[in-house]
Amino acid sequence: MKVNFKNLEKKIRIKFKNIDLMTQSLTHKSFDSIKNNEKLEFLGDRVLGLVIAKKLLEIYPHEREGVLDKKFASLVNKNTCLEIAKKINLDKYILTFNSHNKKIKIEDKIISDCCEALIGAIYLDKGLNSVEKVIINLWDNHIKKSVVTEIDAKTKLQELSLKKYKMLPTYKLFSNTGPRHKPLFKIGVKLMNTKYFISSGKSKKDAEQKAALECLKTQKL
């Protein structure tokens, strides 16, 4: 079955030298049990990860590894690949059949896998520089929006304490006042060599976060 990929090539700004690679990248195993996109999807997943990791290091050269890891995960997961694929109407080009030789409904996983397989095909056909340009162009908005909330104060303090003292911070509930519908918790936290830093909050979690933040302000990060 021949498929016209001209519109898709325009959207990704790539002209394939070997159109068979492009076809294979969009061929589900239900259509062809041998020449399908499974290995290209495997390759594309790795290429995507490499390009996104490199881009994040360029954008955030001083960011901590933990934050970079969260940003990375949000950019290479199946949901993001699915959004990218739908943006370029990739599902229109995917080749699938069921046991009765009828085109089956294309599941989201198949679409996102094809997105990665297409990346693998571009890499093999055009090389790393070209596939990097395609990925950065398609993922541009997602990269700009990859504002993963900064790791919370309690987590930061835990990482710091484990690194410096090989032990967790100590939290202590000093008081629980106010009516049941509007409680006020006063909680303190200390590291091995510090006093308790005490803060109040409407919940234990809120009070712990505030106390951890006060403690962090006194530490060299």
Under the banding of pLDDT at 50, 70 and 90, the label for residue 2 is low
- Catalytic residue flag (residue 116): yes
Judge if 159 and 72 occupy the same domain. Answer: no
Domain count, the chain: 2
Q: Is 32 designated active site?
A: no
221 in any annotated domain? no
Beta bridge partners of 188: 172, 198
Please state the length of the chain.
221
CATH code of the domain containing 67: 1.10.1520.10
CA dihedral 120, 73, 136, 129 (to 10 degrees): -50
Domain containing 186 equals 153-216
Per-residue pLDDT reduced to its tens digit, 6-33: 999 999 999 999 999 999 999 999 899 9
Is residue 1 a part of any domain in this protein? no
- The string of pLDDT tens digits covering residues 89-130 is 999 999 987 544 555 578 999 999 999 999 999 999 999 999
* Cβ pair 106, 82 in contact under 8 A: no
pLDDT band at 152 (very low <50, low <70, confident <90, very high): confident
> How far is it, in rounded angstroms, from Cα 153 to Cα 43?
38
Measure the CA–CA gap between 8 and 161, rounded to whole angstroms: 52
Flag whether 34 is in a domain.
Answer: yes
CATH number for the domain that contains residue 204 = 3.30.160.20
Co-location of 54 and 93 in the same domain: yes
The active-site residue, picked from 116, 125, 132, 208, is 116
**pTM of the predicted model as reported, rounded to 2 decimal places:** 0.66
Joined together, the tokens standing for residue 204 give 């234990």
* Domain-located, residue 77: yes
Among the options 41, 45, 91, 125, which is catalytic?
A: 45
